[in-house]
Amino acid sequence: MDPAPLLLVGAGGFARETLELVRAVNRVAPTWRVLGLLDDDPRMHGRTVGGAPVIGPAAAVHEHPDAAVVACVASPDEPGRRLRLVERLGLPAERYARLVHPAAVVPESGSIGPGSVVHATSVLTADVALGAHVAVMPAVVLTHDVVVEDGVTFGARVSVAGGVTIGRGAYLGSGALVRERLVVGAGALVGMGAVVTRSVPAGEVWVGVPARPAGIVAAVAS
């Protein structure tokens, strides 16, 4: 079967990382044909990023109705950015690809929502449910019965113990640790290397060891 056409929305670091993921998938079995990147910065149009052309703004997804799409934007300064982009595009769920690096571990009991990306050496152990448009950077560990709602971002090497719920649009910085049976609320930001031993309320910034509140996220996911 011919590789399916694919568009990545975004032209920053997350998009370049995802291009490398796609190449790793294709080395195992030709699966995707990247048409290009889409970015709303007109200065990027016509450039080549990570070996792929930037072919237009995000709205150009509608000019390629047969292409699968992944939203590749993420920022700790704006945890809800990816969900707002998806809402603006207004595409049906079936337009979004699920991208899993061949070096990631996803069990039969796990589930991955549309538009989600799971990078190399990440491990989902058992009965882990990822929502839509979740970004899992390399070497993340999500253990049994973790529930991840839409639009969550995990930085590299985040580890989450069993029974945790991560709310919509939350952002967990690289190296963060989350104790079992806690809740990280919607739109919350957990800082790099933080050790979370108590549930984090929605929209709050928590940092440190153990993690403590340090402010409010400026832009919470809608």
pLDDT in tens, 113-170: 999 999 999 999 999 999 999 999 999 999 999 999 999 999 999 999 999 999 999 9
Predicted pLDDT at 215? 84
Question: Residue 36 — left, alpha, or beta (φ > 0 → left; ψ -120 to 50 → alpha)?
Answer: left
Predicted pLDDT at 210? 96
Predicted TM-score (pTM) of the model is 0.95
pLDDT in tens, 80-122: 999 999 999 999 999 999 999 999 999 999 999 999 999 999 9
The two structure tokens encoding residue 30? 């030709």
Domain ranges of the chain: 4-73, 98-209
Question: 10 Å Cβ neighbour count for 94?
Answer: 7
CA atoms within 13 Å, Cβ hemisphere of 84: 12
Residue with tokens 């690809």: 97
Predicted pLDDT at 216? 82
pLDDT in tens, 183-202: 999 999 999 999 999 999 99
Burial class (CB in 10 A: 0-12, 13-18, 19+), 56: buried
Give me the chain's average pLDDT, please.
96
Q: How far is CA 203 from CA 79, 95, 114, 156, 210, in A?
A: 10, 29, 24, 21, 18
The CATH class for the domain spanning 98-209 reads mainly beta
The two structure tokens encoding residue 122? 């990440």
| Confidence class for position 40, pLDDT limits 50, 70, 90 | very high
Predicted pLDDT at 218? 63
Task: Tell me if 11 sits within 8 A of 44, measured CB to CB.
Answer: yes
pLDDT at 220 exceeding the cut of 50: no
Question: 10 Å Cβ neighbour count for 71?
Answer: 31
pLDDT in tens, 54-77: 999 999 999 999 999 999 999 998
pLDDT at 222 exceeding the cut of 50: no
Fold of 4-73: Rossmann fold (3.40.50)
